[in-house]
Amino acid sequence: MATKPKVLLLGKIEHAHESWKSLSNLADLVSSQAQGRAEFLEECKAGRWDGVKAIYRTFDSMEITGRFDSELVPLLPGSVEFVCHNGAGYDQVDVNACSDRKIKVSHTPGTVNDCTADVNMFLILGALRGFNPGMLSIREGNWRGHPLPPLGHDPEGKTLGIVGMGGIGRNLKKKCDAFSMKIIYHNRKRLSEELAGGAAYVSFEELLRTSDVISLNLPLNKDTRHKISTREFEMMKKGVVIVNTARGAIIDEAALVKALDSDQVASVGLDVYEDEPKIHPGLMSNPRVILVPHMGTWTAETQCAMEECNISNVRSAVQDGVLLNLVPEQVDLEK
């Protein structure tokens, strides 16, 4: 009888237990007991994962392996053909290092759109309306605080600039339509009229110069790291509001703190940080900054859907040799 391929689990299955178990009809399910990156690399070098065809990894498995980078990927056994990442953002995986080894990478787009855009909406409303100072003072027994917090602003009629018009950006656009905001966007590629849904395409610079609220909805990679820094803050309207549910390192946090301190930026809503779980002290101490601890996808429904999606990718990889949600960088490699 032919031996079954192996599937390596890095991290935990928290919800989709039945689906995960059902994979055992196709593959031997194995998991690492490594307590950290050094131990995991040793396991790889010792041939512990030989025969593994697909890897299911979670965001939190960073604690076990660290980043899937150009040091780790070459140490994976030659049998590994697929890395299935449970998350829409896959900056924890060096896709080029995987492509060099002909390893295909998948992620879980789509499943996260609604819930991430919901947090985005919460941050836009919270930051524009300036709720945070009052929410802090009420818990200190101070009602709205003394002096009173400055008046907030209505979303209606404000220009929202969405940087990155993928699934989350487009979902956010629809939500903001309900608040009568004027939506402009910038994206690597201009979208069809149908996908843009009435949002106007503008250059990055025009978006920075004309938006009242800027929402970052683009992936983190070498081209987008610190895409928003001192120069970009200087181009923005004075008193701009910024929200980020994408990845912290898209913003240069030290430059953001300066822009807040000079009132160039009026308020900020953040779900993600440059060096999670550390938060820049200048953000932590500023009541005009709403801080959410990376909870964009933190709902029962979405966590479950993400796991199911990732398991479907593993199943399809093992059964049919194809990933359902191949990362965009590798789509051309397929041709």
Does residue 305 belong to the site contacting ligand O=CC(=O)O (CB under 6 A)? no
Residue 276 bears catalytic tag: yes
Show the DSSP H helices in the chain as ranges.
17-22, 37-45, 62-65, 95-100, 113-129, 131-139, 167-177, 193-196, 204-210, 230-235, 253-261, 281-284, 300-320, 328-334
**139: helix, strand or coil:** helix
For residues 217 and 199, the answer to whether their CB atoms sit within 8 Å is no
Residue 17 bears catalytic tag: no
Does residue 167 belong to the site contacting ligand O=CC(=O)O (CB under 6 A)? no
Query: 105 pairs with which residues across the strands?
Result: 83
Task: Tell me how many residues contact ligand O=CC(=O)O (CB under 6 A).
Answer: 6
For residue 334, give the nearest of 105, 124, 30, 139 by alpha carbon: 105
Find the shortest distance in angstroms from Cβ 264 to ligand O=CC(=O)O.
Answer: 28
Residue 294 bears catalytic tag: yes
Cis peptide before 277 (omega within 30 of 0): yes
Find the shortest distance in angstroms from Cβ 109 to ligand O=CC(=O)O.
Answer: 9
Does residue 297 belong to the site contacting ligand O=CC(=O)O (CB under 6 A)? yes
Please pick, among 15, 43, 294, 329, the residue that the annotation labels catalytic.
294
Burial profile 103-115: b = 16 or more Cβ within 10 angstroms, e = fewer: bbbbbbbbbbbbb
Find the shortest distance in angstroms from Cβ 191 to ligand O=CC(=O)O.
Answer: 21
Find the shortest distance in angstroms from Cβ 67 to ligand O=CC(=O)O.
Answer: 14
Binding residues for ligand O=CC(=O)O restricted to 97-126, rule: CB under 6 A: 112
Positions marked active-site: 247, 276, 294
Contacting residues toward ligand O=CC(=O)O, per CB under 6 A = 87-89, 112, 296-297
